[in-house]
Amino acid sequence: MQKNGESKLTKEESAKAPLDLPFLILVLLLVGIGVVMVFSASYASAFYSSASNYNATYYFNRQAIFALAGVAGMYGVSRLNYPKYKRFGFLVFGIAIFLLLLVLVPGLGVSANGATRWLKLKGLPQFQPSEIAKIAIIIYFSARLSDRKDFFIRPKDSRTLGGRTLKAMHDSGFLELLPYGVVLLVVIGLLYLQPHMSATILILVVGASLLFVAGISWGWFLGAGTLVGGLLWFIITNTDYMERRINIWHDPWSDPLGGGFQAIQSLLAIGSGGLLGLGFGNSRQKYLYLPEEHNDFIFSVICEELGFIGAIFILVIFALLIMRGYWIALHAKDRFGTYLVVGVVTLLAFQVFLNVAVVTNFFPVTGISLPFFSYGGSALLIQLAEMGIVLSVSRQIPAKKTG
């Protein structure tokens, strides 16, 4: 039923096959709750902002429109025959690199809070090319790893020094890993110029997860983990804004009205929610106290209004979605489908973890959003397109394995 890792289902058969209903319901539930929470978290700042023309429902209206468009796009992507993505892995990666380079062009890149991470092109909404880079890494790595046996190189003559060296590099797996390492270094280098540490961490985690699932030796993970950890520490300690964030993270109250203000207000919001919360719409910190209350720190408002129980309920939905995603990966019809789903679901899982870690001050403050909840149209569209890829893979799971 498979040839070179591709399903023989026709385009029409793939589009008509049933998708994974539990996964779809969980996604729609999170998107629905997310849009409602954007309304609650944003109406105060929207009402007092000239950017929204003092319209209290400005952010909610835009997020709702993007959510509807994203759900439609997710369904459209789910109808595509996912093995076709393999042919475009390198092209998507090339587009991502091009967009990351455009961010560095004066007049095109948009700066905020000491970083230039956004791209504004005529006729298009502002977006972060790093979001494109994440899915590009997933598709490119999945395509190569699903055919990894085709990339083994064996030396013709092991009697010479060069031949023995090549054989040792081959036997250790270095030659196979080299293309993936080069790709990651190129992307990380461009992200460093922005700088964008959270995207760097996410891309490294996604890349490592795909290599791990493909069966790469544990030794490489230990060595690469040590090397990458040292490199990240070097970057952090030699980048002024990152070093300041680390110092503030250790003690937010050392600068309560400056760098520590956001972390302190977030902790106050979470703490004031208690067990049951203050009630939907009753957050106090969203009244211009907590910065980014409808964006990166929307989970703080969730904790304040819905309390510990409400916050845990949302995290449980995320956990169920992640587990169902990995179930789909385990039962995918081919390796390419497995790797695609593992990459997408790992990206989602780690992004949720990092966002919650940031708002609870378990991790230094960095620009990372909560999937399906944080305000941002382009990010929501891309996230739902990624969910569409998972649903596309689920359509081709053998009937006896569905349920």
What does the alpha-carbon distance between residue 138 and residue 184 come to, in Å, rounded to a whole number?
Answer: 11
For residue 73, pLDDT over 90 is answered with yes
Q: 4 pLDDT band (50/70/90 cuts)?
A: very low
Least confident of 161-170, 231-240, 316-325: 161-170
Query: pTM value?
Result: 0.86
| pLDDT tens-digit map of 266-282 | 999 999 999 999 999 89
**What pLDDT is stored for residue 216 in this prediction?**
76
For residues 334 and 146, the answer to whether their CB atoms sit within 8 Å is: yes
pLDDT of residue 142: 92
- Cα 20 from Cα 392, distance rounded (Å): 9
Q: Which residues of 243-254 are buried (b: 16+ CB within 10 A; e: fewer)?
A: eebeebbeebee
Instruction: Tell me the C-alpha to C-alpha distance, in Å, between residue 361 and each of 16, 73, 287, 358.
Output: 46, 35, 21, 5
Residue 347 burial (CB < 10 Å; 0-12/13-18/19+)? buried
Q: State pLDDT tens for residues 125-175.
A: 788 888 899 999 999 999 888 886 644 455 555 566 556 565 655 555 566
Q: Which residue has the higher pLDDT, 218 or 51?
A: 51
Paired with 110 in beta bridges are 118
